[in-house]
Amino acid sequence: MSDHARKLRPCSTLLMTLFGGLLVAAAPAEAVTPFFSTKKVEPAKPVKKKTMGPASHLPLALQATRKNLLAGKRVTYKQLQALADAGDGVGAFKLAERIQKQADPTLATDALHYYALAAYDGRGYAVRHMLTILADDRLALSPSHLASAEAALRAQAKKGNEVAAEGLIKLYSQGRPFGEKRAELEALLASGAGKKNGDMAFRMAVMLLSQPGRTAEQTEQAARYLGIARDKGSVGMKAAAGNLLAQLTEPATGTNAEVQQ
């Protein structure tokens, strides 16, 4: 082989190698299907701020008013009334107190209204203030405010508030300011909501039996009261009520004729 041929051989080999590489590079690559996740991504939901406590249902402005009130900070009359009218018991009680401090008899009905709202919201300490207003015959009280006060007292009595039960019994027995409500009175006495129910029933029975020229209806009512006293009264009262009730139901004799008349 000539020297020229030997020199061309490496060059030819190099060219063939380069050409082969170009052919391989030019060959079409195998198609690859791109992968996309099929899982549906839900948008993030906004996290709701949880509020707790007795004032959580109130608008934020009223919650701030209530917080200031409990902290002893200054609260305007308008702010306090807005809180009370929203049904908040604390605000209603504080507003009623503020009204009473004005010492204006014409505003007593408004004080009663807000004390009743407080009692409805579970503020049993408002009951005594309500009874003080209701016991004053000189005050002119709105019929609607009287109705709400009566309902609030009955609700408190059902919850076991003895002050409410005994106060309501006393007002019913007097026939004012709620009027004569015998059925409600008997039901309340029989419920045993107050510790003194039996004793009160006995006193009312004696009062009816002592009336001159009492009617048959009054005698029947007295007998019902005696039955309540026998079941709900103290130990001594139960015995006394049982004796009187026996005299009313037994045939008339010289001993019990006066009781039955």
144-188 pLDDT, tens digit per residue, is 999 999 999 999 998 989 899 889 988 998 899 999 888 898 888
190-226 confidence digits (pLDDT tens): 886 556 788 888 988 998 899 888 899 989 999 999 9
pLDDT at 59: 93
Distance (Å) of CA 182 to CA 54, 76, 130, 173, 218 = 37, 44, 22, 8, 11
The string of DSSP codes covering the chain is --HHHHHHHHHHHHHHHHHHHHHHHHSPPPP-PPP---SPPPPPPPPPPP--STTTTS-HHHHHHHHHHHTT----HHHHHHHHHTT-HHHHHHHHHHHHTT--GGGHHHHHHHHHHHHHTT-GGGHHHHHHHHT-TTS---HHHHHHHHHHHHHHHHTT-HHHHHHHHHHHHHT-SS---HHHHHHHHHHT-STTHHHHHHHHHHHHHTSTT--HHHHHHHHHHHHHHHHHS-HHHHHHHHHHHHHHHSPP-TTTHHHH-
Q: At 227, is the pLDDT very low, low, confident or very high (cuts 50, 70, 90)?
A: very high
Whole-number pLDDT of residue 258: 52
**Domain extents for the chain?**
58-188, 196-261
The answer to whether the pTM exceeds 0.75 is no
pLDDT greater than 50 at residue 247 = yes
pLDDT band, very low/low/confident/very high, at 24 (cuts 50, 70, 90) = very low
Tokens 């009280």 identify what position?
A: 141
Contact 134, 112 (CB under 8 A): yes
From the list 54, 59, 98, the residue with the least C-alpha distance to 78 is: 98
Burial 87-105 (b: 16+ CB within 10 A, else e): ebbbbbbbbbebbbeeeee
Q: Of the ranges 23-27, 160-164, 247-251, which is most confident? A: 160-164
pLDDT of 82 over the 80 cut:
yes
Pairwise pLDDT comparison (2 vs 154), residue with the higher score: 154
